[in-house]
Structure 1
Amino acid sequence: MKKELISATIVQPVHQPIRHKAAYDKENGRMYREKTGEKMEKKISVLGVWADRCTAKDAMRICVEYSHTDALNIVEILTADVLVQSRMTEGVKENIAEADLVLIGDKAILEAAGITDRQMLKETEGNVFLKMFLRFLKKDGQRLFLVGDSQEDLAEFQSFLETHHQGLRIVGSAVIPEHDKGDDMIVNQINGLEVDCILSGLSVAKQEAFIKRNRNLLNARLWMRIGKTPRTSGESSGFAGTVRNFLRKHILIKEMEKENRKKEN
């Protein structure tokens, strides 16, 4: 198989004068670096889905900045499952594009796209950003609210966080319905609890629908979708993790080949 078949596009860094350290400009995909005094434009596209290419430390700077803003900022951690879903389900790709920051959270995506950056591969495999972010939430005493597709998902989500990340300040949770009938109650609950960050295990489509209806009503500063199966406890290590990563990579490569055949035809 020739590497040319892989449909991944990388936009190389463009250096410009800094406007504000550790800030993010959604329109231009810019991340401002405090140390260099320059702002960097780094984007990668896989299967038509654009993600921000940055280190875990850079992503943390951006999220810390978000935590001090007045508006609600959306962060998406992109997995192989969601990428494949974006090919099969209409609107998923567009929904991901609405996020303020999109981070690659699956090593299989990088490998399938031919990314060889050692630091990026290592940090993604070790879920370094998510671990750093959860430590920040704990250390800063951030008030957290969990949302999920079902009560079972929520219970599993909360159990995972309490087992592997003890000390997080979880103040509430809610199941997000398909319709908007329960929106007022959920929004009032979040605002009444003075939530700082919403951790989401929702499907991409359901999350986007809820945010679209209520973004301007929520007083929280950060909404992070980490998916139904958070991976910060070392599940990517060992033989089972290697097999899972291989299968994800294989599926993605097949989807990329389909995408390229469409373009060629």
Structure 2
Amino acid sequence: MKETINIFDVNMHSFTAKEAMKRVIEYLGTESLHTIEIVTMDMLLKEQDNVQWKEKIGKMDLALPGEQEILVAAEVQDRSLIREADDKVFLKLFLKYLQKNRRRIFLLADSEEVLESLKEEIRHYHRGIVITGGAALPEDAGQEEKVINEINGTETDCLVSVLSSPWQEQFIAGQKALLNVKLWMGCGTLLMQNYTDKKMRGRLKEFFLKKLFRYRVERQKKEN
């Protein structure tokens, strides 16, 4: 099995959920900050021509395909790996690990509305996870220093981000050296899908997203 795949010149690690979780546990056992990004179709489509965004993804310690369509487009043949992506197994194992081990997390979102919604859902479904705080961090709001001080003022193991791309990757690339946490988990829209799928990405929108993604991938293959 290939350990890496490439879509639109974005390299991702083709790991099983258990293999990825081994990395998570390893990262949380260190003192330095490690970064993990879960890549989705909409991120790839939106940033297909964004060279700087691709470079930032490439510098992550772990970049994982978050949806089965990405693996299918990369011609991955392992059905269990595709099934894991479809069932969001890694994300579920990650949250379960945080819950079981009472790990402390800080949440980042684009708005207060999204932030409060995510806090409520995590507290309801994953009660063992300790939320040390959260911050709404819109792009170009000039709140980076304030938010970093807030994060560093807590005893936080993991920074969980549902910021939109490319702002999410821009923030961690620029501020990584200043953050006093062990792990960055960039989830983008994927984590929110578990809770607000009907609101944010209905079935019809999902259908057209998949169709557009397949078309773009096939067009790139023909061009190459």
Same fold (TM over 0.5): yes
3-state DSSP class of the match of 2:177? coil
User: Structure 1 residue 258 and structure 2 residue 219: aligned?
Assistant: yes
Is residue 62 of structure 1 aligned with residue 23 of structure 2?
yes
TM-score scaled by structure 2? 0.87
1:176 aligns with 2:149: no
Tell me what 1:24 maps to.
none
- Identity among equivalent positions (%) equals 35
- Equivalent-residue separation in structure 1 for 2:138 and 2:205 (angstroms): 31
User: What is the aligned partner in structure 1 of residue 180 from structure 2?
Assistant: 219
Q: Which runs of 5+ in 2 are unaligned?
A: none
Unmatched 5+ residue regions in structure 1?
Answer: 1-11, 14-41
Provide the C-alpha distance between the structure 1 equivalents of 2:39 and 2:176, rounded to a whole number of angstroms. 21
Q: CA deviation at 1:183?
A: 2.3
Is residue 144–residue 198 contact of structure 1 (8 Å, CA) maintained in 2? yes
Residues 157 and 201, structure 1, Cα contact 8 Å, conserved in 2: no
CA root-mean-square deviation = 2.4
Q: Which of these residues, 115, 136, 143, is aligned with residue 154 of structure 1? A: 115
Do residues 91 (structure 1) and 39 (structure 2) align? no
Alignment coverage as a number of residue pairs: 220
1:209 match:
170
Which is higher, the Rg of structure 1 or of structure 2?
A: 1
Structure 1 residues 23-55: Cα deviation after superposition (integer angstroms, max 9, x where no partner): xxxxxxxxxxxxxxxxxxx11111211100111
Residue 252 of structure 1: how far off its partner (Å): 1.6
Normalising to structure 1: TM-score of the pair? 0.75
Instruction: Please tell me whether the aligned partners of residues 106 and 156 of structure 2 are also in contact (alpha carbons under 8 angstroms).
Output: yes
Partner of 2:97: 136
Query: How far is 1:63 from its partner?
Result: 0.7
Deviations 1:229-249 (A, max 9, x none): 42457x79xxx86x7765443
1:18 aligns with none
Residues 207, 215 of structure 1: CA spacing in aligned structure 2 closer, same or farther, 3 A cutoff?
A: same
Which has the larger displacement, 63-72 or 254-263? Answer: 254-263
Q: CA deviation at 1:259?
A: 1.5
Write 1 or 2 for the structure with the bigger share of helix. 2
Amino acid at match of 1:52: H
| Aligned-residue offset at 1:100 | 1.0
Distance 1:139 1:152 in 2: 27
Q: Is the 8 A contact 1:79 1:105 kept in 2?
A: yes
